[in-house]
Structure 1
């Protein structure tokens, strides 16, 4: 095209642009506004969906939030999340060979609880942890993972134990088919859990602990900060299942305890829970104890003068070796005698399993709210034989849930 024709077309194009310029500009601005509004609305809906559907969000503040009947009976409240963490920690005693069973336990606790709070996790072993153990577990926990070795004198036979007598006693228990009756490592574990775990330096900065064992399952979402719950409600010891001990493992534990209390009456709490552990005002022990495979408590209690002196007295008697004293009856007797009974709490609505027993909330509304995956028919919490939860509620003078007979 010649330059002459270009000169003629250019003015006409300019006129067309000027003619429709305002309309094009208005339409473009309108389109931008519409797209912006749609984007904001989309973002708003997305945010709302995240809040309401995320499993990491507590429902305590939700309208219609339900508390288990047993929590109402115990007169406790569920704390609101305020963004502040307590000085709490998960504690696990494990071997390197426990790793692949333990990862499931960690995953349950993280998914059902700790993904909101990011509490630290302390792992203890009588031998150094392998690189694989550290690598796998540290990747799973949302807080800091810490690894410690147990002092040798906390995991060995004390000098005052007659080793010949010990060998004879444990072999005798083995022949009687008493669970772990002839096991040396099991005795070390029970002794360590009873008296030394609280003294490990990795726990020095903490005030609250949650014991997490291998092979546990949590079936329900925990809707609140469990450590904040303990502090707010002035609790020092919490459990989820209570069972009867094998009498053959602790034949002299109660007599030894009575001797200690007689020598140290100042430690006996006036408002104690004696009725839970004895049917005759302390003359004998009824074998009821809190199952320590799920245990939440105050480290200050286990560091207290009363508990430390009690453990040392038991330890010097030799019962952890000559017999097979477990940490569960030791913890339970101490809590029942030295704490105010109002400082002990039964946890419900959580759903828990450790071989071979299961706790599953009996209230359907609680199971649905907390997204429980347990089978209600497998719950043993309120069984009248072998299990002691009814006994605990009677000793505390709490109301039993509807449908649970006395």
Structure 2
């Protein structure tokens, strides 16, 4: 392997590029998100990436402004790439009944559902569910770390999570797991059950159905991994199983007729198509998005220094699915979906 070095101005040391895995940091943003993007970059660079210099890929459905590009590039010594999302990957498909979609937006707005009346949010969910990993800028990479504007990382990360995923044969990693808003996915599980019956060959033997359902798959308990933080293998999303799954769900129109999010889509796929041992809870990575945060306990922090308060973690509050996830891992009962 070619051993190239780049200089880190933070620690004044040489960081060999050959130590990096085939991975990138991915951030979907608008020009108006600049301040939030910079805040997230500062946090992740200071706690992790100043040592490894993993490249950043920024994606937008419009061209990034020169101001955005210039200020972002000042926040890192790592390579930075800016990409435009193809219109066909972002816009509402022509076959969607706009009258029906408009009724859905109106109904969810009346129910005070967050982003209930937003078409752009639905475009984003569909893009993150089925298209981001196909973007030309991401084709050279296998692993990604998803970053959002206005997120915080609380702990110094003393190892490479990408390397951990590879060495331990992990495919999907998360920090927070929550219950989805039921009004946004009213028919999603019916579609999933239809898919399971039609394509049983894609269901892993030692799957994580117990995380998704308490009755063997008859109903969905709304648990999902909060996808604003993901460290995962994009080859899983590019696989035949996931591509078939996304295309099947997309034909149902639920991204627009309801408000299907990429979090439940990703979570259900990972839980069903992967052995449960290939899902990883990054318990040692302190993280906050919006009002929710995961703060490691002293045992979970693996000796890393964290600036958050343990009492403020969501892990064992009523909104969290982490207890269910841990119970699923400790169970030795294999679940045959819909049996």
Instruction: State the TM-score, normalized to the length of structure 1.
Output: 0.76
Secondary structure of the corresponding residue to residue 195 of structure 2:
helix
Judging changes above 3 Å, is the alpha-carbon distance between structure 1 residues 56 and 348 closer, same or farther for their aligned structure 2 residues?
farther
Per-residue deviation, 1:170: 1.0
> What do the CA deviations read for 1:21-52 (whole angstroms, capped 9, x no partner)?
xxxxxxxxxxxxxxxxxxxxxxxxxxxxxxxx
Matched, 1:200 2:135: yes
Partner of residue 390 from structure 1, selected from 319, 323, 328: 323
Structure 2 portions without partners, runs of 5+: 1-9, 332-339
C-alpha distance in 2, partners of 1:93/1:196? 12
1:158 aligns with 2:118: no
Q: Distance in 2 between matches of 1:192 and 1:329?
A: 14
Indicate the SS of the match to 2:247.
helix
Whether the 8 Å contact between 1:114 and 1:142 is mirrored in structure 2 is no
Residue matched to 1:373 = 307
Distance 1:381 1:55 in 2: 34
Establish whether residue 214 from structure 1 lines up as the match of residue 149 from structure 2. Answer: yes
Gaps of 5+ in 1: 1-53, 58-80, 399-406
Deviation of 1:85 after TM superposition, in Å, equals: 1.1
> How far does the alpha carbon of each residue in 1:45-64 deviate from its partner, in whole angstroms, 9 at most, with x for none?
xxxxxxxxx9899xxxxxxx
Q: Is the 8 A contact 2:284 2:300 kept in 1?
A: no
Once the two structures are TM-superposed, the CA of residue 145 in structure 1 deviates from its matched residue by: 0.3
Q: Bigger radius of gyration, 1 or 2?
A: 1
Give the superposition deviation at 1:371: 1.9
Of 112, 119, 136, 1:184 maps to: 119
Matched residue count: 320
Which whole-Å CA distance do the structure 2 matches of 1:224 and 1:256 have between them?
40
Q: Tell me which stretches of 4 or more aligned residues in structure 1 moved more than 6 Å.
A: 54-57
> Matched residues in 2 for 1:114 and 1:90: separation?
9
The aligned residue for residue 334 of structure 1 is 269
Q: 1:316 to 1:56 in 2, by over 3 A?
A: farther
User: What is the CA–CA distance in structure 2 between the aligned matches of 1:198 and 1:240, rounded to whole Å?
Assistant: 21
TM-score normalised over the length of structure 2: 0.91
- 1:23 counterpart residue number: none
1:6-405 matches, within 5 Å, as: 84-363=19-298, 366=301, 369-383=303-317, 385-397=318-330
State the 1:142 CA deviation.
Answer: 2.5
Distance 1:365 1:323, change over 3 A: closer
Q: Whose helix fraction is larger, Structure 1's or Structure 2's? A: 1
Distance 1:260 1:349 in 2: 35
- Measured in 2, the distance between the counterparts of 1:237 and 1:272 equals 13
Cα distance in 1, alignment partners of residues 226 and 314 from structure 2? 13
